[in-house]
């Protein structure tokens, strides 16, 4: 339950309980979960290509010259070692920012103002 509040902080059970009964909402949840993994993979791919992918992509230039190939490969490995943690961190942070922005737009704008008509919560 606590993990759910961390992952979906804008979903208020008492206010949004009716959504769980809607088939369109369940479908959105499925597409959102799939989209989250696609976004994570895309961001990872982008950051890793920018940091070390270019180095490995240029290895074909050294085919046939084993000494230079090995030297270039070792340089690429060093680049990978130096930037791997940064790429992982940047990927996770970027994905989390997108995750919370999508939630904000969906729950605060679409659900609260469009579907519920901007009704205030009763205390």
In a domain, 16, yes or no: no
In a domain, 12, yes or no: no
By residue range, what is the domain housing residue 81?
22-101
In a domain, 72, yes or no: yes
The mean pLDDT of 17-31, rounded to a whole number, is 86
Torsion-angle region of 122 (φ positive above 0: left; ψ -120 to 50: alpha; else: beta): beta
Tokens linked to 48: 């890793």
In a domain, 54, yes or no: yes
The mean pLDDT of 48-73, rounded to a whole number, is 93
Q: What is the pTM of this model?
A: 0.76
Number of domains in the chain: 1
71-105 tens-digit pLDDT: 999 999 999 999 999 999 999 999 999 999 998 88
In a domain, 89, yes or no: yes
Torsion-angle region of 118 (φ positive above 0: left; ψ -120 to 50: alpha; else: beta): left
């Amino acid at each position: 339950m606590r993990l759910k509040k961390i992952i979906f902080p804008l979903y208020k059970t008492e206010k949004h309980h009716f959504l769980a009964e809607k088939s369109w909402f369940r479908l959105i949840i499925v597409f959102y979960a799939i989209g989250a993994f696609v976004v994570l993979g895309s961001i990872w791919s982008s950051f890793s290509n920018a940091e070390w992918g270019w180095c490995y992509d240029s290895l074909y230039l050294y085919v046939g010259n084993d000494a230079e190939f090995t030297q270039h490969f070792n340089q690429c490995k060093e680049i990978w070692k130096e930037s791997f943690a940064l790429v992982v961190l940047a990927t996770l942070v970027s994905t989390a920012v997108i995750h919370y922005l999508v939630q904000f737009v969906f729950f605060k704008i679409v659900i609260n103002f469009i579907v519920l008509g901007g009704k205030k919560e009763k205390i």
